Amino acid sequence: MTHTIQPNNPETTPAPDATDVPVTSVPAAAAAPAGKASAVPAALKRRIPKYSDLAPLMQFKKPEFSKEARLKRASTVWELRDIAKRRTPQAPFDYTDGAAEEEITLRRARQAFLDIEFRPGILRNVSTIDLSTDILGKPSRLPVGIAPTGFTRMMQSEGEYAGSQAAEAAGIPYTLSTMGTASIEDVAAAAPNGRNWFQLYLWTDRDRSLELIERAAKAGNDTLMVTVDTAVAGARLRDVRNGMTIPPALTIKTVLDASYRPAWWFNFLTHEPLTFASLSRYTGTVADLINSMFDPTLTFEDLDWLRETWKGKLVVKGIQTVEDARRVVDHGADGVVLSNHGGRQLDRAPIPFHLLPEVKQAFTADNTDAAIMLDTGIMSGADIVAALALGADFTLIGRAYLYGLMAGGRAGVDRTIQILEKDMARTMALLGVSKLSELTPDHVRLLNK
């Protein structure tokens, strides 16, 4: 005869009648003596610890204060930023960290990467992760390169030399800005085996622009990146409030600021004065320099001139609409960089990450093989993986690498790249993909869209 025993809730179920309950004998060993608690397991009984038990737990390490130890403790780009802020005077740090007007564009660009949901696949072999790719006809060990940044030796004295050499060591492209603080020739000499690109602002003086183009080609740069979102300088209010000048001026405020950051000033004052890729010396405000260089008359026809003049790969940076992406390709561009200049030009500008799927769809429909690159807002390897999944062929980092530079020079840039590489490999493994070609839009869902 089978008896079914239902769970008993004493608050809702009445006690059964004594006649209905089968009599079951309880083994003597299992029955606890009335009024006494069950025996305490040996593992839960208190005892005096033995030294042999404590010894493996006492791993006291000597405090380390070296630059290498400081950088090694940084696990994210944000932590490098914290170090950079402590070690860099306010004016150059804010020049890097800030954006235009109310900085709405920059906040939105970063938020865009947060407002996604990854959709992983399981039971895939991810024992090895391949992060290599091809961009503009040549290999890159990682799907990220260093974007052009101006006044880089002002952030930290190693500047473009640190960036180009770190990129060379990592096997990724490095882009020198027209407003960089090292010459085209010096950067090429510092990283002779690196893949060097040159970013161009087209001046109203076309002879000056042509001279730069010829120098870039002679120095071995295989890609020219022309920036087109700078008809005039954006209103970078942090720079205005800081009285930012090139070179930094020694005022009462900057001297007081320097007292907390002596290493930066020592490096700045004991190295060669700032020089530029495009002019030997300049004294004045950042806005004045920018406005003296940018050409507000630039049109699509100027791209035709560039295409005829430059024999290497031509990339147009600053694309913010699908229509413009298509038009620059029609005018000879080999690739586009979806970018709003890191939020430093037009506030409330389109967000490149949001624009990416539309441009990818348009290029697919047009059957064009022009490369799609993206910058603005990238602060982790997961951000890069998300961009690649949604259609980017390549990504560029500006602020992220500058935070590393300010945190520790060349070693800080190396650390930035290491962090991003580790992030990318981990994210891909957790998504269930082992190489970049396996990433698809199905791996990412845009929230709140």
Q: State residue 32's pLDDT score.
A: 52
Is residue 45's pLDDT more than 90? Answer: no
Q: What is the mean pLDDT of residues 157-186?
A: 95
Comparing 444 with 258, the larger pLDDT belongs to: 444
Percent of the chain surpassing pLDDT 70 = 84
Q: What is the mean pLDDT of residues 86-95?
A: 91
Is residue 246's pLDDT more than 70? Answer: no
> Is residue 341 flagged as an active site residue?
yes
Q: State residue 149's pLDDT score.
A: 95
Q: State residue 290's pLDDT score.
A: 65
Q: State residue 152's pLDDT score.
A: 94
Percent of the chain surpassing pLDDT 90 = 63
Is residue 155's pLDDT more than 50? Answer: yes
Is residue 159's pLDDT more than 50? Answer: yes
Q: Which of 95-104, 153-162, 225-234 has the lowest mean pLDDT?
A: 225-234
State both tokens at 38. 């069950």
* Residue 380 main-chain phi, psi, to 5 deg: -155, 165
Is residue 24's pLDDT more than 70? Answer: no
> For the segment 291-332, what is each residue's pLDDT rounded down to a tens digit?
666 778 888 999 999 999 999 999 999 999 999 999 999 999
Nearest CA-CA partner of 289 in 215, 181, 187: 181
Q: State residue 35's pLDDT score.
A: 54
Q: State residue 19's pLDDT score.
A: 46
Is residue 107's pLDDT more than 60? Answer: yes
Prediction pTM value: 0.85
3-state secondary structure of 183: coil
Q: How is residue 143 annotated by DSSP?
A: S
Q: Using the CB atoms, write b or e for 53-89: b if 16+ within 10 Å.
A: eeeeeeeeeeeeeeeeebbeebeebebbbebbbebbb
Cis ω before 247 (30° cut-off from 0):
yes
Number of helices followed by number of strands (H, E) in the chain: 18, 14
The active-site residue out of 3, 271, 331, 341 is: 341
Task: Provide the pLDDT confidence category of residue 448 given band limits of 50, 70 and 90.
Answer: confident
> For the segment 394-432, what is each residue's pLDDT rounded down to a tens digit?
999 999 999 999 999 999 999 999 999 999 999 999 999
Q: State residue 235's pLDDT score.
A: 84
Task: Provide the pLDDT confidence category of residue 29 given band limits of 50, 70 and 90.
Answer: very low
Cβ(202)–Cβ(302) below 8 Å = yes
Q: State residue 250's pLDDT score.
A: 55
Nearest CA-CA partner of 302 in 365, 227, 239: 227
Q: State residue 252's pLDDT score.
A: 66
Task: Taking the CA atoms of 106, 110, 115 and 120 in sequence, report the sign of the dihedral they define.
Answer: positive
Q: Which of 160-169, 241-250, 295-304 has the lowest mean pLDDT?
A: 241-250
Cα–Cα distances (Å) from 231 to 90, 234, 282, 399, in that order, read: 27, 9, 21, 22
Q: State residue 249's pLDDT score.
A: 63
Q: State residue 289's pLDDT score.
A: 65
